[in-house]
Structure 1
Amino acid sequence: MVSGSRTRFAPKSKQEYGPDPNAVRETDKYQEEYVRGFVQKWDDLIDWDARARSEGRFFIDVLKARGKTSVLDVATGTGFHSIQLLKAGFDVTSADGSAEMLAMAFRNASDRDLVLKTVHADWRWLNKDVHGKFDAIICLGNSFTHLHEEADRRRALAEFYAALKHDGILILDQRNYDTILDDGFSTKHKFYYCGDQVTAEPEYVDESLARFKYSFPDGSEYHLNMCPIRKDYIRGLLRDVGFQQIHTYGDFQEEGEETDPDFFIHIAEKSYAD
């Protein structure tokens, strides 16, 4: 994801946020947050089998319905969506700014007799490291909210737009920060983070920071400092970059069918409808 090309960090064994963790609101912090111990536990949080059941064929069907075959997964993480799409026959390129995540994704694919095409890339300079044009880009797992500065968000979206073919689509998801900011946090823990022995919840929230704590059965805890972007704000950014159609789902349901989703999924298309 971010901080992969221009700024290199030596691997750390523990997260470090300094004396006031709630003051840490920089995009470049992302690289240091995914320390090896956290990455090694990430799949416990997801629970691949449960997540596959909860998502079903949603992303596969969206892509196939639009005739898309080449996909750039810009937030590969440990590889869940890249591997699901590879198994479904898509031509997938997998990018991330965390070398630890990419290594885990490659191992996960290898364990399933698949080979990932991986690229260590920073979203803000994506086209420097990732070459060619794609039918679709996916940016999933709430990853876009690692971008704390608006200039970084606009630049990343412009890079995504440029990496797409003339009729390409971007699929981008985010937590429902509107509800978290306005009404407090609650979750059905049903679709995204399906591991039943792991908790993922904010321990601090204001208009520009959601600090999430991830607690694991062995007593270990990790954190991520995210920017709580609102649904209409990100839709506005997508329009500003040039996407012509934007359709938003809530927890894989048509907008309005799910009244209080945990996640929003935006499908942004470069071309107008025929």
Structure 2
Amino acid sequence: MQNVETGNAYYLSKFNQSFGDKPTEVRDTEHYKDEYVTTFVEKWDQLIDWDRRWETEGNFFIEQLRVRGVKKVLDVATGTGFHSVRLLESGFDVVSADGSPAMLAKAFENAKARGHILRTVQADWRWLNRTIHEQFDAVICLGNSFTHLFNERDRRKALAEYYATLNHDGLLILDQRNYDSILDEGYNSKHKYYYCGESVVAEPEYIDSGLTRFRYFFPDGSQYHLNMFPLRKQYLRRLLHEVGFQKIETFGDFQETFKANEPDFLIHVAEKEYKNSYSEV
């Protein structure tokens, strides 16, 4: 029989975030597991607004995949399932992974409501290939998720795991908030392309070179927080090159050309291998 103290601890961990007495000092990759509590996950789709996100995003990701002949995709940051469902409905073979069991459960529920059965896997990116034993044409890591990694070793390890799970001419698509703009000029979001929910306020309440702490305020008065590492664009591009990706394009809010401080989000499209335009003799 579960004792009262243990039962209370479970209840709190399931429904209440805990950052301790000094929340801006919580800079630990493992902590994301405690941030995506059930009550937060249940509200997450209010922040995304699937219909508006579908409209503003258009077919950007689908076209990036199709033009390269991608058929099989690993969605490593499935969240509540938005991109996994979009790709399934566009004819791709999709495996949906996430580190949060609550997110995966919600994604499965969302997909089922739309007539799909997700193939879900709970996986830590740093040891992705221990859990997933398939090769893919593309890996997608979307929703600013990569910024949950707080030290360079974890970032390099995760990128290397993505690289290893790709076929020889595979593709990685990874996005992030425009932290250069946030760090250098302050936060000023158009709230248009990614987090489209009109009723949810999402804004940073603390920023320094090693942490951006976002607050999410919902219509019922509840609020939650995420602690994330503010990745600079050129730093992440360098890591992608050093891990082995040879050709990297960066888009700003789905546009190929943009001013540095304009986009809310940056999307990196990294190819594992160049396709040479010449033939070896």
TM range (shorter): over 0.9
Give, as a single letter, the amino acid of the residue that structure 1 aligns with 2:51. Answer: D
Task: State how far apart, in whole Å, the 1-side matches of 2:105 and 2:20 are.
Answer: 28
Q: CA deviation at 1:255?
A: 3.1
Hey, what does 1:256 align to over in structure 2?
258
Identify the match of residue 173 of structure 1 among 156, 172, 175: 175
Work out which of the residue numbers 8, 17, 20 in structure 1 matches 2:19.
17
Question: 1:270 aligned to 269, 272, 276, which one?
Answer: 272
The aligned residue for residue 3 of structure 2 is none
1-structure distance, mates of 2:80, 2:89? 16
Q: What SS does structure 2 have at the residue aligned with 1:186?
A: coil
The C-alpha deviation readout for 1:150-192, integer Å capped at 9, x for no partner, is 1000000000000000000000000000000000001000000
1:6 aligned residue: none
1:205 matched residue in structure 2: 207
Give the whole-Å Cα distance in 1 for the aligned partners of 2:102 and 2:82. Answer: 15
1:258 to partner: Cα distance: 7.6
Provide the C-alpha distance between the structure 2 equivalents of 1:119 and 1:184, rounded to a whole number of angstroms: 37
1:188 aligns with 2:196: no
| Paired residue secondary structure (1:203) | strand
1:97-108 correspondence to structure 2 within 5 Å: 97-108=99-110
Output the amino acid matched with 1:63.
Answer: L
User: Deviation per CA, 1:35-84, whole angstroms, max 9, x where unpaired?
Assistant: 00000000000000000000000000100000000000000000000000
User: How is 1:86-235 mapped onto 2 (pairs within 5 angstroms)?
Assistant: 86-235=88-237
Indicate the SS of the match to 1:255.
coil
Relative to structure 2, which stretch is displaced further, 200-209 or 258-267? 258-267
Deviation at 1:259, TM superposition (A): 5.4
C-alpha displacement of 1:12: 2.3
Identity %: 63
Give the letter aligned to residue 252 of structure 1: F
Unaligned runs of 5+ in 2: 1-8, 277-281
Corresponding letter in the other structure for 1:255: T
User: 1:13: Cα distance to partner?
Assistant: 1.4
Q: For 2:103 and 2:30, how far apart are their aligned partners in 1?
A: 16
Taking the aligned partners of 2:16 and 2:259, their CA distance within structure 1 comes to: 42
RMSD: 1.2
Q: By how many angstroms is 1:257 displaced? A: 6.4
Secondary structure of 1:162's counterpart equals: helix
Q: Distance in 2 between matches of 1:143 and 1:255?
A: 24
AA partner of residue 144 (structure 1): F
Contact 1:251–1:258 (Cα < 8 Å) also in 2: no
Residue identity opposite 2:191 in structure 1: H
Q: Say which of 76, 80, 95 aligns to 2:78.
A: 76
CA–CA distance in 2 between the matches of 1:127 and 1:273?
26
Larger radius of gyration: 2
Q: Shift of the alpha carbon at 1:256?
A: 2.8
Contact map agreement 1:78 1:101 (CA 8 A) in 2 = yes
Point out 4+ residue stretches in structure 1 off by more than 2 angstroms: 9-12, 255-259
Mapped partners of 2:18, 2:51: distance in 1: 32
1:20-99 equivalence runs, <5 A: 20-99=22-101
Q: Secondary structure at the match of 1:38?
A: helix
Distance, in Å, in 1 between the alignment partners of 2:242 and 2:257 is 21
| Partners of 2:114 and 2:14 in 1: CA distance | 29
Cα separation, 1, equivalents of 2:19 and 2:257: 37
SS in 1 for 2:15: coil
Range that drifts further, 249-258 or 132-141: 249-258
Aligned residues: 266
Instruction: Report the Cα distance in structure 1 between the residues aligned to 2:39 and 2:24, rounded to whole angstroms.
Output: 22
Verify the 8 A CA contact 1:203 1:211 in the aligned structure 2: yes
| Aligned equivalents of 1:130, 1:123: Cα separation in 2 | 10
**Structure 1: which 5+ runs fail to align?**
1-8
Rounded to whole Å, the distance in 2 between the matches of 1:259 and 1:21 is 28
